[in-house]
Structure formats: C-alpha cells, structure tokens
Amino acid sequence: MAVSARRLTRVYTVGSAQVTGVDGIDLSIPSGQMVVLKGHSGSGKSTLLSLLAGLDRLSSGRLTVAGRDLNHCSEADLTDFRRNAVGMIFQAFNLLPTLTVLENVCLPAMLAGRPQGPTRSSAAELLAGLGLGNRLAHRPRQLSGGEMQRTAIARALINDPAIVLADEPTGNLDSSNARKVMGLLADLNRQSRRTVVVATHSDLADAYASVILTMQDGRVVS
Ligand SMILES: Nc1ncnc2c1ncn2[C@@H]1O[C@H](COP(=O)(O)OP(=O)(O)OP(=O)(O)O)[C@@H](O)[C@H]1O
C-alpha cells in the first residue's frame, strides 16, 4: 500500500477556535495508482496532501506512507522521509529564483547528501526528458509557466521517490500547458509505476485518473 490512513485527523488551533482540516479519514491507496483528489475550496485537499508529504503532523489517527509510520517518527526520520520517499509539486512552482534550472533540480539530492557529479548528470537527463535540455542555465524568471512547472517536476523526481504529490499543479497554467503537465504526471505514473496523487479543481485531470476521490468538509465522500 502506498498510503494507509485510519481515522486521520488534523485540527488547527486559531486563537481560541479549532478548525478541522481533515476529519477522520480512512483511506488506502495501493501502489502504482494515479489518484485525483477533488473538492471545493476549503474541503481539505491541501491539508491531506501536506500530511501525506510529511510537511505537517497529524493530530490523531494513523498514517503510513511508502511503508513509513508518520505518527511515531522523529523529526530526523520525517526529514529523511520528505527528502527520499516523496516528491512534491506546488501550484506556485516554489523554485529558488537565484539558482539555475539545473541547480534547482539538483538541490534536493544535494540536501540528501548525494554526490554532485552523478546528481548533475541525472538532473540534466531528467530535464532533457521533460523537453528542457536547452534551459539548464536559465533562471526561473526566464522560463514560461509550463517550463517552470516541468522544472519542478524534475526536482520532485531527482531523489527517485515512490510517491509524487501535486497540489494544484496546473493552477497557474493555461489549458495547453495544463494538459501537458497532467500528461507528464500520468506518464511517470504509467512508465515507472510511481504512485501519483494530484489535488485539483480542474476537470482536465479526470481523464488521467485511475481513481477520483472527492473531499467535502475534511472527509472523503466518494
Ligand atoms: N494553517 C492553517 N491554520 C488554520 N486553518 C487552516 C490551515 N490550513 C488549512 N486550514 C483550514 O482547513 C480547512 C481545509 O483547508 P485546505 O487548505 O486543506 O482546503 P483545500 O481543499 O486545499 O482548499 P483550496 O482548494 O482552496 O486550496 C479550511 O477550513 C482551512 O481554512
């Protein structure tokens, strides 16, 4: 199982109020699936993805992702999990503006302590595969939105994660680039049997999904 969640809950405390982001979700995602997570704004998609990515801690319940228990792990284990087990793609790309395309893609591997030479060749190979072989020395501001998101996809793949998580990856793209990015995510699901979970409002993603989960009020309702 790529993801196994039982009564997964995340409650935020805002002043004296409690806001429930994810409300007792039971969820099993077998390895190799392409899951599209839908639901209105505020339904809990980003909260769920953050928990799956180890960017946030659950309040209660149980969560295992890529064979790792995320309830009871130390901060060091969680950092190792984020670096090696999952790749994350964001709506706003989150590239570092002062680094080149190649350096942005190498960064997670350098942080994980991988050697520079092989990392640079893997990054160049990934970028070439995503049609960015002639953009290695560019800075993010010199790229189109579609090129920025393809750079972010390469960065998410550099440590060869079992699971790729994408939060509104097409939210800042026109429909042609959005289709291209969804196609790339579907390819990396099909070709390498990686599990991919995409949260999106866009109906464009439906055609690529092996499973569509709909969230409402912090729960998976269908
Ligand atoms: N850091 C936070 N502090 C307090 N409340 C939060 C926080 N993050 C999310 N929430 C609340 O949790 C609920 C779920 O939000 P979440 O961002 O997961 O929804 P979403 O489905 O991803 O929405 P969108 O599609 O607009 O991104 C909302 O009520 C939101 O206000």
One domain for residues 72 and 166: yes
Indicate the pTM of the whole model: 0.95
For the CA of 49, the nearest atom of ligand 1: 18
Residues 118 and 67 in one domain: no
Question: Is residue 28 located within the same domain as residue 45?
Answer: yes
Same domain, 80 and 170: yes
Cβ of 39 less than 6 Å from ligand 1: yes
Give dist(CA 136, CA 158) in Å, integer. 15
Q: Is 20 left (phi over 0), alpha (psi -120 to 50) or beta?
A: beta
At residue 196, does pLDDT exceed 90?
yes
Q: Do 166 and 215 lie in a common domain?
A: yes
This model of the complex carries an ipTM of 0.95
Return the bridge partners of 219, or none: 216
Atom of ligand 1 minimally distant from the CA of 48? 18
Question: Which residues neighbour 5 within 8 Å (Cβ) at sequence distance 6 or greater?
Answer: 25, 26, 27, 28, 61, 62, 63, 64
One domain, residues 110 and 39: no
As given in the structure block, the two tokens for residue 93 are: 């790309």
Instruction: Return the CATH number at 203.
Output: 3.40.50.300
Same domain, 204 and 189: yes
User: Is the same domain home to 81 and 167?
Assistant: yes
Q: Residue 192: its pLDDT value, please?
A: 85
| Rounded Cα gap, residues 166 and 181, in angstroms | 11
Ligand 1 centroid distance, CA of 57 (Å): 14
| Average pLDDT of the chain, as a whole number | 95
Do 155 and 192 belong to one domain? no
State the pLDDT confidence band at 17, using cuts at 50, 70 and 90: very high
- HEC string of 32-55 equals CCEEEEEECCCCCHHHHHHHHCCC
State what percent of residues in the chain have pLDDT above 90.
95
For the chain, how many structural domains are there in total?
2
Question: Does residue 181 lie in a domain region?
Answer: yes
CA distance 26 to 62: 9
The ligand 1 atom at the shortest distance from the C-alpha of residue 201 is: 25
In angstroms, what is the span from residue 184 Cα to ligand 1's centroid? Answer: 27
Ligand 1 midpoint to CA 48 (Å): 9
Average of per-residue pLDDT across 149-157: 96
Residue 90 lies in a domain: no
Distance CA 160, CA 197 (A): 16
Instruction: Give bridge partners of residue 11 from the DSSP assignment.
Output: 20
What is the extent of the structural domain holding 143?
A: 95-160
Tens digit of pLDDT for each residue in 136-149? Answer: 999 999 999 999 99
Q: Please work out whether the CB of residue 46 comes within 6 Å of at least one atom of ligand 1.
A: yes
Task: Tell me what pLDDT residue 188 has.
Answer: 87
pLDDT digits (tens, 9 = 90+) for 53-102: 999 999 999 999 999 999 989 999 999 999 999 999 999 999 999 999 99
